[in-house]
Amino acid sequence: MHLVSAVTHQEGTVLAQVRVPDKTNEIKSVQPVLEHLPIEGAVVTGDAIFTQKHIARYIVEEKKADYLLTVKDNQPTLRKDIEDLGLGAFPPGA
């Protein structure tokens, strides 16, 4: 069974989880797992598979939250856009 979960960082409490349908990936499970959670003003974190425009828009526009998503080299256009912003002065953990 493949699950996507919403978990608090400090306590490690599972707030919600949904099963990922067979023969698909986690992308379509993000909205259902966040749908009923009151996350306005929170920061949602996710790995690189969640780095999708529609997921970012859903988190910001619908849920009124912010996000921190991992970007990998398999998305060269996004990676280049970030580099062009000159954010090197603000590396993660700084």
The pTM (predicted TM-score) of the whole model is 0.82
Per-residue pLDDT tens over the stretch 43-67:
999 988 889 999 999 999 999 999 9
On the question of pLDDT at 94 being above 50, the answer is no
Place of tokens 């989880």: 17
Domain ranges of the chain: 3-89
3-class secondary-structure state, position 44: strand
How many CB atoms neighbour CB 81 within 10 A? 11
Place of tokens 């991992």: 70
Per-residue pLDDT tens over the stretch 16-26:
999 998 888 89
CA gap 17, 89 in Å, rounded: 36
CA-based torsion, 51, 57, 62, 64: positive or negative: positive
3-class secondary-structure state, position 57: helix
Residue 32 pLDDT: 94
